[in-house]
Each structure stands twice: as C-alpha cells, then as structure tokens.
Structure 1
Amino acid sequence: MKPIKRRFFCAALLTAVMAASGIGTAAADTGCRGALLASTVVDRIPADKVGEYLRKANLDPSRAKFGVIAERIEYRTVTPNGRPTVASGLVVRPDGNPAATDLVSWAHGTMIYRGYAGSVSATDSTRSYAALFASAGYVTSAPDYLGLGTGPGTHPYLDVDSETTASIDALRATKQLAARERVRTTDRVLATGFSQGGPAAMALGRALSRGADPHLRLAALAPISGPYDLSGLVSTALSGGIDNATAYTAYFTVAWNRLHHLYDSPAEAFRDPAIVDLFDGNHPDQEVFPKLPATVGELLTPQFIEKLKHPTSALRRAFRVADGTCDWRPNVPVHLFAASGDHTVPIWNSRTCAGQLRENHATAEVVDVGAVDHLPSAKRASAQILALFQAS
C-alpha cells in the first residue's frame, strides 16, 4: 500500500495538541522531547483479516477484536549524551475502538541492520507483536531505539539510558498521534519487551515509577528473555557458552566503544579490525554473519578478552548500570517470562532479575514457557502477557 505521511511541528502546536487532548504539555516542557514530527501509515489490517495475520506469525488470535492501523512515527528525543536528536518508532492502534485505551510499550530485541526495525520492515516480528496487542484494544508503542529505522547515527546497543529515553519519548509521541486520531488513551502503561527489550522494559518501568512523566503511569511489567545480568552473559559468551556468541560480542564491543571508549584502535580489540565496519547499522545479517569467525577467541585479541573478563573504570561502571535494571522496587507485580531451553539468553538471567527484585521487597515471578529456544520464547509468552495486561 502507498504510505500516507503527515508532518507536525514542535512547541506551540505540540502544546495545543496535548492540551486539547487533556494530557498536559510534558513534552513541550522538556525541550520538545517526545514531540511528534511525522507519521506515516505503513499498514492496515481489517478486523476480518487480523486473525489470519496473527496465525501466520504464530501468535494466538483468540483475543483479537479489532482491525489495526500501523504507523511509523518520527519524534524528538535525546542521545546518550543528552543532545537533541530524532528517532523513529512504530505505533499500532486499534481501528474503531471508541473506548479509552491503555498504552502498551513493546521493546524489541537485538537487530544489527536498521532496515529490520518494525517501523520500516513489514516482516519484523515487532510489527506482529504490536498488532497482537492493538487487535485486543491497546494503542501500542514500539520504539526503534536510536540509530535504527529512520533515525540518524549508529545504534547504542544495550545502552539502558537511551533505551529508556527513546521509549518514554515514543510514548509521548504516541499519545499525540492517538489524540490527533481521536483515540482516547489513559495514563496507564503496560510494559513488555523481548531479549534486548527485556532490560529496556524494566528500565522504562523504573523511570515511570519514579515520575519521569506525570502523564504516564506504570500499570504492568512483563518482559521476556532479557539479558538482565549482562556482565555474566558477556562472560558466558567469551567461553562460547551461548548461541551466536561472536555476533553478540562483536556488536556489543563496537557499540560500547562508541559509548565508553574501550579501545583506541580496532586492532586492540579485534583480530580482524575490519569487523568494526560491519556494525554501522547498514549491513543486513546475511552480510555480517558470514564474515564473523566461529569463536570469540578468533574474534577478539587475548588482551581485550582479559579486559572484558576483568573490567575496570568506565567499563565496570557501565556493566553496573546494565546489571541494575532489576535493582529497584516496582509498585506492580513483575512477571519475567523466559525459556528453560534458551541457549542465547539463558533463563538464569531472569532468575537473577527476580532475585534482585525480591531483595527490594518487590513481587516477582519467573514464568518458564518451556524447553524452547530464544525466539520461540517470545511467541509462547505473548498470549500469557496479553491475558495479564487485560487482567491488570
């Protein structure tokens, strides 16, 4: 279908739109963070076709009631250094739902190529998961994060702070889009996400619980198969103890060097310095994976492996932040979905998270979706999460 694109402007118009919708002017008050700049309709699925669409994606269609409209949004947010930038994201809303609806925030998993983002790719799983929630009546916000989709620059992979700001600002922009389309939304946010999106959802929940936006309130938290113990997972990857260890380790190393300056020259970290060029966001998986060695020992220099095994200074501080997304006390029960058969992000990550939450006197449970691997764990969890959200 031909995209339908609309453009918006900041400041006065944003204030007017938000005031008219009764949701306040939080984005305008924070330098237009979250201001909706543009929207493009990328898909429409009528109510009589939603069930078939979800079944093809191996998702449970039993709770679908509405057709859905999917739009790519572009909105104002900030870089990891707090500088103004623009990000894209996907908003999927129910078509024809007259009642006030809660917001679902879906945080996606690892992607190397910007073109795989749900706002631009019709085949990425983000599109189908967002449609699942929207077909049940929720306006669903799925940020691409920074540097993916149509956003500028490179992606700060596994950077909790920018995942949080991108998610909050996407929710702000989503409320503006909903108000424009006369879809009433509440202040309740039901947060979930998969893999990389697990800690992102936890960090979003923490920010909302601490008052990051007075017009957004955490109402449920149910992430899936997340790397909550990132330092432990990196250590496991160094020994080849997870699937696709070289891809995840290379991506992490390149991205965190941009954030935390882990090396002066790529040759200090990589046996083949050209590996760095593969992780600029412009190379699809089929171009990246054939060029990666079989083991982490063949990927990284011995000196850099030792640096990852024994982090100091900026790297140690960064791991502490990444490992701390579960170290707080949510005011809602937390349901951590994971799979005992996961060889990419093992279930002990979720158990570690639950332990941290309980130490903070929070209510947390790990829900084992079975002896399936990483990607199927999200499909198995999704129907249960939707049921939890409807009961929240």
Structure 2
Amino acid sequence: MRSGYCLAVCLLLACSGGSTTASTDTLVDTLSGEVLDNGALDAGQDVSTLPDALTDATVVDVSTEETQEEDIADTTSLDSASDVVIDPLQTKGGVIIDSEHLATWSQLEVQLYLNTWAPGAISAYGVSIYRLFYTTQSPLGLFTIGSSLAVFPDSPLPTEPTVAVSWNHGTTGTADKCSVSTYGANNALYGVVYAGHGYAVVLPDYPGLGTPGPHPYMVRDATAVSVVDGVRALRSLGAEIGYPVSERVFSLGHSQGGHAVISAHSFFEGPYGDDLDYLGGVAFAPGGEFLDVIQDYVTSTVVPSAFLAMMYNAWLTDRGVPISLLFKPPYDDYMPQWVEQFCLVELAGMLPFTRSELYHPEAITAMETGFTSMPEMAAIIADNTPPVETTETPLLVLHGASDTVVPVEVSHGIFARSCGLEAPMELQIEPGLDHTTIVGSTMLLQAKQWMDARVEGLPWQPSDCPSD
C-alpha cells in the first residue's frame, strides 16, 4: 500500500485548498468547479501538478481543458433545477490515488470459495485481489474519490493484454458502510468468477460509497462516469503490477448495476470513453422504467419502498431541489441523515408503514399519474432512465421471468425504448429465475460465453424489434 487512505484524503484537501478540519461529507453546492470542503479537486486542474503521493500511479489520458461553468443561481424550484445539465468532465478520472493488495488465492482456494458462494462455477486460475482509490466525478461535476475492488488472474502473463470487465453491484444502500470494497476480498465474488476465466475485473463501489460525498443512487450521468473511470484505474493498476490490461472492455452488472451498465453504454462509446475499446455490456435484471415502476408501486398494497425513497432523495439532491417537495415532515429531515447512516435493510425497517405518512398527498397523486402534475419531476426521472440515446455496441439484457423485485416488464420497457432509439439490444427472459437466481453460476457462465464470442469477433444478433 503506497500511502494510507486517510493521508490521501488529507492531501486532496490540502492541495485543493479545502480545510482538513472540515467535514469531507459537506455537499457541494455549485457546479462552477470551485473547490469546496468535500475533498474534491477542481475539475479543470491538471493532475500532473499534484503532489507525487497522488500521482505516482500511471496517469491515463488526462486532459487539461477546463470544464465549462454551469449557472445554477436558483435551484430552489423544479423550474430552474430541471434545466441543470451536468456535462461529463473534459478532464478524465481514473487516476489511482492509492492501492492495497488484499489477497492471492490459489486455483484450489478459488474453487473452494466458488463451491460455497457460486456452486457450479469453475475456475481455471487462482486470483490476486486489490482495493483501489482513484479520481472520479462527483454528482456535481467535481473530481472526488472513487473506490473499488480489482481482481486479476493469478496465471502466466498472456501473450496479449487481458480484456477488462467492470462488474457493477446491486443495491446495498447509500451509506459509506454499505460499500462493497470496504469488506475486502470475500466480497469480490463476481470478480473472482470472471478473473478465474482470464479476465481482469474491477468492481466499483459507485461515488460516495465508502468515499467522501453523497452516493448518487440511480443518477445516470454520475454513475456512468464512475464506471468508465473504474476501468481506467484497473488498467493503471495492471501497468503497475506488471499485468497489462487491454483497452478492450465489457461492463456487467446486476439490478442497480444493470442500470449502471445501460447508463454507461453511451459513455463508453462517446468522447468520455474514447481511450477504451468497448466491446459490449450485460445487464442482469436492470433497474429502469422508473415512471412505470412508481405507478405500479403506488397502486399496490406494499409498504413504502426503501428503493424508491433512496431514488427520490438522490434525484432531488442531484438537482439541488429540497426533498420536502415530496417528503413530509419529519421525514424530509430524517431522509438525508438516514441515507448517510444506514444500509438498505436497515432503512427499509425505519420507514413508516404507510405512504401517506412519508409523502405529501399531492406527491402521491403525482406518482399515481406518472408525475403529469409535476412535469419537471417527470423530466428529472426521465433523464435518469436509460437508455436515452442511440448506441451501436452489443447489449445483452437477462431477466428472470419470476423476478418480484425488479419486474420483468422493466426489461421489456428497456427493450422497447432501445427499439425506439434504433439502439440494438438482445433480450433474454429466463423462465423460472428470480432476482437472485438470475446471477447464479449458470447465467454468469452464459454471460462469459457471450463475452468470449465478442472477443473472438463472432457475429452478434440483436433481438428483433416489433414492426410498425
């Protein structure tokens, strides 16, 4: 480990003009690029000017162009907030701040681990597991710290650089303690599965999980940028440890991670990912089609959803809109605190039993009608419901027909949306599988075979869109 994480945070604060005594969780309240006391770097700052302790890793494709300032003089109403657009950083993230080797497991140790946690999965190699900290974009467009696990095959060096995989996890919560990488090597299951077959894998935590600042739960742009940045950090680490990682990359993810995959699809293809060769994405039971999901939720008999409450909190916070727009007292005060303290199961147990206790009557009415009475809120939700633009790279969506957490209709809606954008997509509905078993060893192997075919350049056939 090159330097302690706490030291890295202090150095970030020191070099950015922030106070080391200020809370690193203070929300950024501007898009101007000004450095505030959230531990962020100026988005336009050339990282090559930072102290060596922050830049002794390989720096991948860092531009020094300044990010354009955004005018958000009034974000207290939906009218103004709905016009706020966060442009992707022109100065790209993924620069390693710190790394730590956690474990090396032999092929036998990997197989014993998989026998317990992914029965039926077979590993060809041992693995080496690391934890990474690197630069990425905060929800408000500033550099902040991202974290992840990284898993490499423990095998003889291949003749060509190893293909990269980004595995994006499902919902754990939005508090720092919900970070997957915090709990070390044993949480690297999906990375171990694919590294055991020769891929190099990064498992990002998403911004604000275990690192400074809020977690932008289901916020499309901030999530997408962090996925791409994690791959850059993986490649930099590979260069450091002498295990070269190719610019060729796949993104995979489950549930919230499926939303991340589809969100990042256009970012990998576009200017932000132009230093990478994106081969495709696999989304397992992805979150999405939020307006339809919300309407189904409010017309059902279930108690208030923690997933939905976290999304509302993140979407409104991302746009600078007071959450009191939807949440009733005292929950408009409680939610910002709870999401920083509790993980999913804990939060679910703290919400009131009825929606009428949690949300304003007019908010419930808006939810029932797809927010037609709150068009600005509908626009915010639409902005975070991918896909929102045409893409060309292969995308496979796998969904269990028996899923009761993310209904299969969500993936049907994503497919219809893709067809409308003329963005090719392959949809496979798996009979008898639910939200958990869709990421069982059989489906993980199916995704691996799909990736192998893309690496080999075999033809890909998207699902046929319905004719007009």
**TM-score normalised according to structure 2 size:** 0.74
Matched, 1:337 2:398: yes
From 380, 388, 392, the equivalent of 2:450 is 388
Question: Following TM superposition, by how much is the alpha carbon of 1:123 offset from its aligned partner in structure 2, in angstroms?
Answer: 8.2
Equivalent AA in structure 2 for residue 142 of structure 1? L
What is the CA–CA distance in structure 1 between the aligned matches of 2:115 and 2:445, rounded to whole Å? 12
Shift of 1:327: 4.1
Q: Secondary structure at 2:451's aligned position in 1?
A: helix
Deviation at 1:67, TM superposition (A): 1.2
Q: Give the count of matched residue pairs.
A: 379
Q: Which residue in the other structure is 2:32 paired with?
A: none
Q: How does 1:90-105 map to 2 (within 5 A)?
A: 90-99=149-158, 100-105=161-166
Q: Residue 98 of structure 2: which of 38, 60, 75 is its match?
A: 38
DSSP-derived class of the 1:371 partner? coil
Indicate how the Cα distance of structure 1 residues 387 and 336 shifts in structure 2: closer, same or farther if over 3 A, else same.
Answer: same
**2:146 match: secondary structure:** strand
Matches for 1:1-392 after TM superposition, within 5 Å: 4=1, 6=3, 10-11=47-48, 18=58, 25-26=61-62, 31=91, 33-62=93-122, 64-99=123-158, 100-112=161-173, 113-122=175-184, 127-149=188-210, 151-240=211-300, 246-263=305-322, 265=324, 269-270=327-328, 272-273=330-331, 275-277=334-336, 279-285=338-344, 287-308=346-367, 309-310=370-371, 312-325=374-387, 327-332=389-394, 334-379=395-440, 380-392=442-454
Q: CA deviation at 1:328?
A: 1.7
CA contact (8 A) 2:107 2:126 kept: yes
What is the distance in 2 between the residues matched to 1:383 and 1:124? 20
Aligned equivalents of 1:171, 1:345: Cα separation in 2: 27
Secondary structure of the structure 2 residue equivalent to 1:142: strand
Which amino acid counterpart does residue 369 of structure 1 have in structure 2?
E
In 2: Cα distance, 1:292 partner to 1:123 partner? 32
Counterpart contact for 2:352–2:358, Cα < 8 Å: yes
Q: Distance in 2 between matches of 1:278 and 1:170?
A: 28
Identity in percent: 21
> Alignment partner of 2:118: what SS?
coil
Query: Contact 2:125–2:154 (CA<8 Å) still a contact in 1?
Result: yes
Aligned partners of 2:220 and 2:386 also within 8 Å:
no
Greater C-alpha radius of gyration: 2
Query: What amino acid is the match of 2:177?
Result: G
Contact 2:164 2:200 in 1 (8 A): yes
Instruction: From the superposition, tell whether residues 271 and 376 of structure 1 become closer, same or farther in structure 2 (CA, over 3 Å).
Output: farther
In structure 2, relative to structure 1, the CA distance for the partners of 1:327 and 1:60 (3 Å cut) is: farther
Q: Deviations over 1:249-306 (max 9, x none)?
A: 221222222123454648x513642641553332244532322233434432322212
Secondary structure, in 3 states, of the residue corresponding to 1:88? Answer: strand
Query: What is the CA–CA distance in structure 1 between the aligned matches of 2:55 and 2:305, rounded to whole Å?
Result: 47
Distance 2:185 2:355 in 1: 30
1:166-216 residue CA offsets vs partner (Å, 9 max, x unmatched):
111111111110100111121111111111111211121211112323321
Distance change >3 Å, CA 260–CA 25, structure 1 → 2: closer
Provide Cα deviations, 1:287-344, integer angstroms capped at 9, x if missing partner: 3232223343443232221243425354222222122326423232x21100111111
CA distance in 2, matches of 1:70, 1:359: 41
Structure 2 counterpart of 1:281, one-letter code: E
User: 1:264/1:255 Cα in 2 relative to 1: closer, same or farther (>3 Å)?
Assistant: closer
Amino acid of the structure 2 residue aligned with 1:116: C
Contact map agreement 1:108 1:195 (CA 8 A) in 2: yes
Kindly report the root-mean-square deviation, in angstroms, between the aligned alpha carbons of the 2 structures: 2.8
Residue 19 of structure 2 corresponds to none
